[in-house]
Chain A
Amino acid sequence: MVNDPTPLRIGVMGAHSTGKTLLLRRIEMELRANGVQVTRTGNVGRRAALVPLPKMQHHTAESTAWVAATGIADEIAAGARLEDEPVKVILADRATWDALAYFRAAQEWRRQPISRADRESLYRLASARGHYDLLLATVLDPEAPVMKRSRDYDARYRTLVDRHTHDLLREENLPHVRVTNTEASYDLAIEHALTLCLTEAPV
């Protein structure tokens, strides 16, 4: 893989305020400490709101397509960024499948079914880039306090996102690492990332 210019992709998905960004920031820190050129994407949700597009339990098929497509575009841009050294690892703060889990949860929250056309197009989009080299899925801890609550915050919706995240991973048979809200689980996820990147992307 030394001469392969394609960067490794590590994605994270899971309900909001379950530590996705924190986990990726730690992985980013660890990789840089090991001399690996790494780029992290993120803030897709905030940018969606600026468009403005509906968020959270108000997600539509359109807003979901925008989030997934923007995530894909961000990943491509991150890999193409001109640095003094090529980017070896892309950390996707919200893997493309994440948008789909949020949409499924929003439909259930509104008690609306997903049309077959929407389902097919969104699944095609989410899987367009193939598997991540490592997919991390955070698990909601109902006991943990929610630090940042947006205006749209709804506890039931957050629980639904968590359930749909893990249902989706199971249904699509996506290889992933579950990350619970414990230091040991974080450390294990970081270890997975380091093992992958330091083996596959030697500096």
Chain B
Amino acid sequence: MSTPSIGNRRPLPILPVEQITSLKPELADVIEYRKSGLSLNWIIGCPLNCGYCVRHLFENYGMKVPRRLMSDEDAVNRLVSHPYFRPHQTPIQLLNRATDPMLLIVKPHLFNVLRQLDERGLTNHVLVITRWRVTPEDCAVLNSFTHLRLTVLVTHSNIQDPKIEPVASTIAAKSLRTLYERAERYRTVLYWRPVVPGLNDSDADIARARELSESAHATVFTGLFFRKEIAAYYEAHDMPMPYEETARRKIMPEVAEQRILAAFERDSGWGALFRKTSCGVAYAHGEADYNGHFGIRELCEICPPEQLARCEAAWVKPELTAVTRQARKLGASGPIDITDRAIVVEGLDEPPRYYLQHGFGYQCHDRAKPHHHRQHGRAGIGWAAKNGPTAP
């Protein structure tokens, strides 16, 4: 079938320059390199009111009506000409920061950009994350892309407090099933998040996730981003505080993880379960993880054996000279080491570190921000040994 462009609907207006310049610079910058990929966010504004939304961090939570920052064509050009973009290799994320890509008024633009990327013959992974409605017609469009490795991740929390989670979880559940039943060219992942102890980790919540995991090519569970801006919103709106502290990384307490893993081990009916987004995405496509998580071996204990074999085969410790050459070019300042777990650098922000990580398929860590054993990518909150033993 032919892919639709904007259809009969009026395209989303592009914000005037003076409004764009008044945004936080990080929000006005449409490209951000994140762990799961080079993220393109040319549309901002969302009506969904999720209490824990990261838009709080960009002072954009009050913007309820989506607007574009540039045309779809300009957004594609900006992405593929980005210095960190590598055709067929760099994972891409679309509209995962400041709107939901499947809103009726947003998705024509999502499809337009997907079509343009696909027409370039690019085979990069593309991640699209939604909690909104996905229809059979949408699935037909998503199946029509012939080159991209496309994954639709459906966020489902089962949190019942409408102040925190105003979107009924039944919407995500229906979308997931619709996607899974029609998947031909794309894959779909149950994105079970944010898991918060006492809020959505009851036996019933876990049973619900288990049931939904059967309608997904993979399931990823993860915790809550709880930064000071989000905590301030909770406080101002008389919402129950999930944690007493805030943290830079996601909070996924040990007790919640143990409850989930115990349920997973007890019941063979679960679909494949992962701690890391890229692990679930890679598995869904029958590939090794593109973030080199195999180096952080304790993450892999729940992986299906065939996935472990794939990741082991693909995971190769890179040559120090090649790593050093690239890292220096990116601005690394201090010594560079390669351990059995990760490349360790100094003086590089997250974007160049992810560039190295995705290029070598090997973890790349900042020496100043070590990942602790069993707490990879997680805050220390909710763990007995708060900073755990530092990973070797």
Contacts and interface: CB of A to CB of B under 8 A. Distances in A.
Interface string A13-43: 0000000001001101101111101000000
Contacts of B9: 35, 203
Contact of A203 (B103, B105, B162, B167): B105
Interface in A176-197: 183, 186
A37 B65 contact: yes
A33 B9 CA distance: 13
A33 B170 contact: no
A183 B13 CA distance: 34
B10 interface: yes
Contacts, number: 39
Interface in B28-72: 47-49, 64-65
A31 B64 CA distance: 11
Contacts of A33: 47-48, 100, 103-105, 132
Given A33-B104, A183-B170, A203-B105, A22 B162 contact: yes
A35 B13 CA distance: 11
Interface residues of A, number: 15
B303 interface: no
Contacts of A26: 166, 168
A34 B105 contact: yes
A106 B184 CA distance: 61
A84 B64 CA distance: 13
Interface in B308-353: none
29 contacts: A22-B162, A25-B49, A25-B162, A25-B166, A26-B166, A26-B168, A28-B47, A29-B48, A29-B166, A29-B167, A31-B47, A32-B64, A32-B65, A33-B47, A33-B48, A33-B100, A33-B103, A33-B104, A33-B105, A33-B132, A34-B103, A35-B10, A35-B65, A35-B104, A84-B13, A183-B168, A186-B168, A203-B9, A203-B105
| Complex A-B, nearest 9 residue pairs according to Cβ-Cβ distance, in ascending order | A32-B47, A35-B105, A33-B103, A34-B104, A29-B47, A33-B47, A22-B162, A32-B64, A33-B104
Interface of B: 9-10, 13, 47-49, 64-65, 100, 103-105, 132, 162, 166-168, 170
Given A26-B168, A32-B64, 13 more contacts: A22-B162, A25-B49, A25-B166, A26-B166, A29-B47, A29-B166, A29-B167, A34-B105, A35-B10, A35-B104, A183-B170, A203-B9, A203-B105
